[in-house]
């Protein structure tokens, strides 16, 4: 995970249609507040066509450089991805396997600050409705209550740098053992499935490939003995011109490996703190 910086101009679907529908949601809650808190009730009709509108989704995809907000995987070739609500819109669980508390954060259903682009696995297999608070008695239960008293255990990718709670040792993510960061870090790893085996393997392969890129970027063809140069060209199976292009590309990839746009930038930053970030 890294901190995500979204555009300040909110997609018009949310400001126009979303705000209009929000008035209806709030009115529905005010007129049926007790019923809206009953288990399994579906009185608050949150519209996927609004928060999942193409304009909204594409803006999130662009701002997040096509990466999942939690696992940082680029998965466009194998999945559609979800428009994810950081604070769950339709019901909340304090405990992973505890009861679903209704109505959830319905008033944030079309809130740009609460929306992110995530892969289906992080969202549907792991996080789902889990949104634990340090003190659940301070949870905002409806749109008239303030969020400012809440102390979420999960790191909001839009507001907090997850490196406060998480650190990578090679490809393995752990919770930072600093004061109450441990409980938050562990909650993030569990909620987003950041240590799931296929993701660990993918990050390990990515790191191994990046080390090859770093090696290629370090080659200096102009200051080699003729014998060494010939060995390099033979190993690469390239002409001298092709090798120069290859090394230039490797240097470009290496220099940008920790940028926000790069896959697994959080892991790269912990492993190679000397790399520039942007």
Closest approach, Cβ 19 to Zn ion, in A, equals: 29
Among 14, 50, 115, 122, binds Zn ion (CB under 5 A): 122
Residue 71 lies near Zn ion (rule: CB under 5 A): yes
Tally helices (H) and strands (E) across the chain.
11, 4
Q: Which stretch binds Zn ion (CB under 5 A): 3-11, 66-74, 132-140, 244-252?
A: 66-74
Question: Beta partners for 166?
Answer: 175
Alpha helices in 14-76 (DSSP H): 19-31, 33-36, 48-51, 54-63
Q: Which stretch binds Zn ion (CB under 5 A): 119-127, 149-157, 211-219, 266-274?
A: 119-127
CA distances from 21 to 5, 104, 203 (A): 26, 16, 41
Residue 70 lies near Zn ion (rule: CB under 5 A): yes
Residue 166 lies near Zn ion (rule: CB under 5 A): no
Closest approach, Cβ 207 to Zn ion, in A, equals: 18
CA distances from 128 to 10, 40, 71, 87 (A): 25, 16, 15, 10
Q: Which stretch binds Zn ion (CB under 5 A): 17-25, 114-122, 142-150, 209-217?
A: 114-122
3-state secondary structure of 201: helix
Closest approach, Cβ 172 to Zn ion, in A, equals: 17
CA distances from 154 to 81, 114, 148, 150, 213 (A): 20, 13, 15, 11, 34
Closest approach, Cβ 32 to Zn ion, in A, equals: 35
- Judge residue 159's burial from the number of C-beta atoms within 10 Å of its C-beta, 0-12 exposed, 13-18 middle, 19 or more buried: exposed
Among 2, 10, 56, 68, binds Zn ion (CB under 5 A): 68
Closest approach, Cβ 44 to Zn ion, in A, equals: 27
Determine how many CB atoms are found less than 10 A away from the CB of residue 30: 12
Which is nearer to Zn ion, 29 or 70 (by Cβ)?
70
Q: Which stretch binds Zn ion (CB under 5 A): 83-91, 111-119, 140-148, 251-259?
A: 111-119
Binding site for Zn ion (CB under 5 A): 68, 70-71, 119, 122
């Amino acid at each position: 995970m890294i901190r995500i910086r979204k555009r300040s101009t909110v997609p018009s679907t949310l400001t126009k249609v979303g705000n209009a529908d929000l008035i209806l949601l709030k009115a529905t809650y005010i007129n049926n507040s007790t019923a809206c808190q009953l288990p399994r009730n579906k009185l608050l009709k949150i519209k996927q066509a609004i928060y999942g509108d193409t304009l909204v989704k594409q803006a999130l995809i662009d701002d997040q450089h096509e990466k999942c907000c939690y696992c940082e995987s680029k998965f466009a070739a194998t999945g559609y991805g979800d428009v994810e609500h950081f604070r769950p819109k339709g019901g909340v669980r304090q405990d992973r396997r505890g009861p679903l508390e209704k109505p959830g954060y319905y008033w944030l259903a079309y809130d740009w600050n609460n929306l992110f682009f995530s892969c289906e696995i992080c969202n549907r297999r792991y996080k789902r409705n889990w949104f634990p608070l340090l003190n659940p008695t301070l949870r905002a239960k409806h749109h008239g209550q303030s969020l400012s008293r809440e102390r979420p255990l999960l790191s909001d990718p839009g507001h907090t740098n997850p490196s406060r709670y998480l650190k990578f040792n090679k490809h393995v993510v752990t919770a930072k053992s600093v004061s109450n960061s441990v409980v938050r870090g562990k909650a993030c790893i569990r909620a987003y499935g950041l240590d799931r085996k296929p993701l660990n393997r993918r990050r390990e392969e990515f790191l191994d490939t990046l080390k090859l890129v770093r090696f290629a970027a370090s080659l200096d063809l102009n200051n080699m003995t003729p014998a060494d140069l010939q060995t390099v060209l033979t190993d690469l199976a390239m002409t001298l011109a092709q090798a120069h292009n290859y090394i230039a590309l490797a240097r470009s990839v290496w220099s940008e490996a920790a940028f926000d746009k790069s896959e697994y930038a959080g892991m790269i930053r912990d492993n190679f703190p000397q790399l520039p970030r942007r």
